[in-house]
């Protein structure tokens, strides 16, 4: 990780945040920065990028082009779902197919930070730079929040979207400037702003999903086959835990196999770890005290519905020393 700049960002705590005032100020700020130019935003459908998109759209209208990057690392049905939600809000989302580029970049990489770096480079150097050039834009809108910046600077995890704060000059390196309207607030603040912008509840209360997507949940090399496995397990966990009100729940695919048995025969199979977190702003977190009945149901469904899985475990460690995602 490159050496970071000292952080000079002034935090606005969720309790002190006046969301309407924040929206007004950010819209004015964006108009000043972008002038009569064009900008792009990569919308994942999460609360951070959705709020950033709405702020940008409010400020710039159609001069902000909105893209969903289908990197092959997203959850089941995500691209269509996001495009249709934003269509209802009057915002056109263009889906960019980029699976090949991402899997190519991840090939052979096993080190967590190298995997994260490969994702960052593919997003910023390859995909965003290409989109920016194609429409003659100069700015990329970014849903970076304060927690992402802090954890990257502290050297805990290189969040996929932290660049300037690590001393990277995006204009020189990639050909565009960043606009980061949310960098003074955290997840709880973003949810307030999203609500004030009248985003639907399915978005302002949406569970976080990290930028590197399912690749942060595969230990070892990321391949399309492993992503398909963790995607299936994720869909089951999301369905079963939807009503828990937990901050975030997820599946992790382990690299080590273990001996299991099925129909009286030995099966050297895969392990899925379930994590379910209680947290307010993702800085610290505790595992949710899920009823054993729920855990048993998860284990039964995952071992029957996800091919090759013979072991399901539940993480009982807090953050710290754990982090929320595994990679």
Alpha-carbon distance of 177 to 200, in angstroms, equals 29
Confirm or reject binding of residue 188 to ligand XMP (CB under 6 A): no
For the segment 268-287, give every residue that binds ligand XMP (CB under 6 A): 282
Confirm or reject binding of residue 106 to ligand XMP (CB under 6 A): no
Q: Which residues contact 71 (CB under 8 A, 6 or more apart)?
A: 98, 99, 101, 102, 119, 122, 123, 213
214-249 burial by CB neighbour count: b if 16+ within 10 A, else e?
Answer: bbbbbbbebeeebbebbbbbbbbbbebbeeeebbbb
Q: Least CB distance from residue 324 to ligand XMP, whole Å?
A: 3
- Give how many residues touch ligand XMP by CB under 6 A: 17
Confirm or reject binding of residue 298 to ligand XMP (CB under 6 A): no
Alpha-carbon distance of 111 to 327, in angstroms, equals 9
Confirm or reject binding of residue 160 to ligand XMP (CB under 6 A): yes
For the segment 211-250, give every residue that binds ligand XMP (CB under 6 A): 211-212, 216, 248
310 within 8 A of 258, measured Cβ to Cβ: yes
Confirm or reject binding of residue 180 to ligand XMP (CB under 6 A): no
Confirm or reject binding of residue 148 to ligand XMP (CB under 6 A): yes
Q: Least CB distance from residue 144 to ligand XMP, whole Å?
A: 8
Q: Least CB distance from residue 158 to ligand XMP, whole Å?
A: 7
Q: Which residues contact 32 (CB under 8 A, 6 or more apart)?
A: none
Alpha-carbon distance of 106 to 269, in angstroms, equals 23
With CB under 6 A as the contact rule, the residue among 17, 34, 185, 210 that binds ligand XMP is 210
Binding stretches for ligand XMP (CB under 6 A): 148, 151, 157, 159-161, 208, 210-212, 216, 248, 282, 319, 323-325
């Amino acid at each position: 990780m490159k050496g970071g700049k000292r952080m000079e960002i002034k935090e606005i705590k969720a309790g002190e945040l006046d969301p309407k005032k924040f929206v007004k100020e950010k819209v004015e700020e964006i108009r000043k920065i972008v002038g009569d130019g064009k900008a792009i935003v990569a919308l994942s459908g999460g609360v951070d990028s959705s709020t950033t998109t709405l702020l940008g759209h409010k400020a710039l209208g159609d001069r902000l082009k909105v893209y969903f990057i289908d990197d092959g690392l997203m959850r089941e049905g995500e691209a269509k779902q996001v495009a249709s939600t934003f269509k209802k809000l009057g915002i056109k989302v263009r889906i960019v197919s980029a699976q090949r580029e991402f899997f190519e970049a991840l090939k052979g990489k096993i080190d967590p930070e190298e995997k994260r770096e490969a994702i960052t480079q593919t997003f910023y150097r390859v995909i965003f730079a290409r989109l920016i050039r194609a429409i003659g834009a100069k700015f990329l809108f970014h849903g970076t929040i304060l927690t992402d910046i802090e954890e990257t600077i502290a050297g805990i995890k290189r969040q996929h979207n932290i660049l300037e704060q690590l001393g990277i000059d995006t204009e020189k390196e990639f050909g565009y400037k960043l606009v980061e309207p949310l960098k003074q607030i955290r997840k709880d603040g973003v949810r307030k702003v999203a609500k004030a912008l009248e985003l639907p509840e399915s978005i302002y209360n949406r569970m976080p999903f990290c930028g590197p997507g399912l690749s942060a949940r595969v230990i070892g090399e990321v391949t399309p086959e492993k992503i398909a496995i963790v995607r299936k397990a994720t869909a089951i966990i999301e369905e079963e835990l939807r009503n828990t009100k937990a901050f975030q729940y997820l599946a992790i695919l382990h690299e080590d196999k273990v001996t299991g048995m099925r129909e009286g025969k030995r099966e050297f199979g895969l392990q899925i770890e379930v994590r379910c977190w209680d947290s307010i702003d993702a800085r610290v977190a505790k595992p949710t005290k899920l009823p054993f009945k729920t855990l048993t149901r998860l284990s039964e469904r995952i071992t029957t519905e996800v091919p090759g899985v013979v072991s399901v475990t539940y993480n009982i460690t807090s953050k710290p020393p754990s982090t929320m995602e595994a990679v």
